Amino acid sequence: MCYNPTISLTTAIIEWTLAIILPWKYTKTRTRFFSSALMFFLGLYQFTEFMFCKTNQADLWMRIGFMAYSLLPAIGLHTTLHYLKIKFNIFWIYIIPVLYIIGAASTTNFVVESKCYDIFVTARNIFSNINSPLASLRFGIYTAYYFGFILIACLIGIRAYLKETNQKRQKILLTFPIAVFLMSFPTFILIIIFPALNIQFPSVLCHFALLLALTIFIGARWDDELNHKK
């Protein structure tokens, strides 16, 4: 589910611009490349929605879009762990999205529904189906990964915030949880108003991700300023 293609393209350009500026301008930010990658894939997803409406290659652009937004929770958790210097096995962070990306690349009949309207665009893929026990399990695992990783990253950030005594670093640690809230709250409102969007929650969520990108960009700036003072 996405908004008017023009809005998608504009959002993509803004997010890509932030992705370029961040590592170049804020060189003292520990997560500059991770945050830049997050913004790049956010922008890529928005761009695929624009191309989906403007070309006759819905299958191609829906596959690429799915791959792009499937990586976002993993990158978000990876960024949080890296910033806090928490040791982890990168394999367990990316194994689920990689498997689903492989599935998206190799599955035939990936597109279930694809329609462009004046205001909205509907795009549903095979992984959103729950018409069999196997399909339901596949959908459940993906949903648990998507929102589970986002929740874990937020909880880690909040825990670190509660332990931190430096007020400036506390602000930085709250950046990701606040960004997720700003992205999620309007999405939940949409879900309440339009219950049919529920099955396309990840896609809807990405449209409010510009708020996430802007908040993370501000957090990176604060971190850069703090590290410069040191």
pLDDT band at 176 (very low <50, low <70, confident <90, very high): confident
Helix (H, G, I), strand (E, B) or coil at 122: strand
The token pair at 228 is 């410069």
Q: What pLDDT score does 121 carry?
A: 67
Average pLDDT over the chain, rounded to an integer: 83
Q: What is the pLDDT of residue 1?
A: 47
Domain boundaries, the chain: 5-222
Does residue 161 surpass a pLDDT of 60?
yes
Lookup: tokens for 197: 């969007």
The pLDDT of residue 207 is above 50: yes
Tens-place pLDDT, residues 62-108: 899 899 989 999 999 999 999 999 988 999 999 999 999 999 999 88
Task: Say if residue 9's pLDDT is above 90.
Answer: no
The residue among 71 and 2 whose pLDDT is bigger is 71
Task: Examine the pLDDT at 18 and tell me if it is beyond 60.
Answer: yes
| CATH architecture of the region 5-222 | Up-down Bundle (1.20)
Percent of the chain with pLDDT over 70: 84
Identify residue 155 by its one-letter amino acid code.
L
List Cβ<8 Å contacts ≥24 apart for 70-74.
Answer: 70/97, 70/100, 70/101, 70/104, 70/142, 70/146, 71/41, 71/97, 71/101, 72/38, 72/41, 72/42, 72/45, 72/206, 72/209, 73/97, 73/145, 73/146, 73/147, 73/148, 73/149, 73/150, 73/153, 74/149
- Token look-up 């191609």 returns 60
18-24: average pLDDT: 92
Is the confidence at residue 187, as pLDDT, over 70?
A: no
Classify residue 121 by burial, with Cβ atoms within 10 Å: 0-12, 13-18, 19+: buried
Q: What is the pLDDT of residues 129-143, one digit of tens each?
A: 888 888 899 989 998
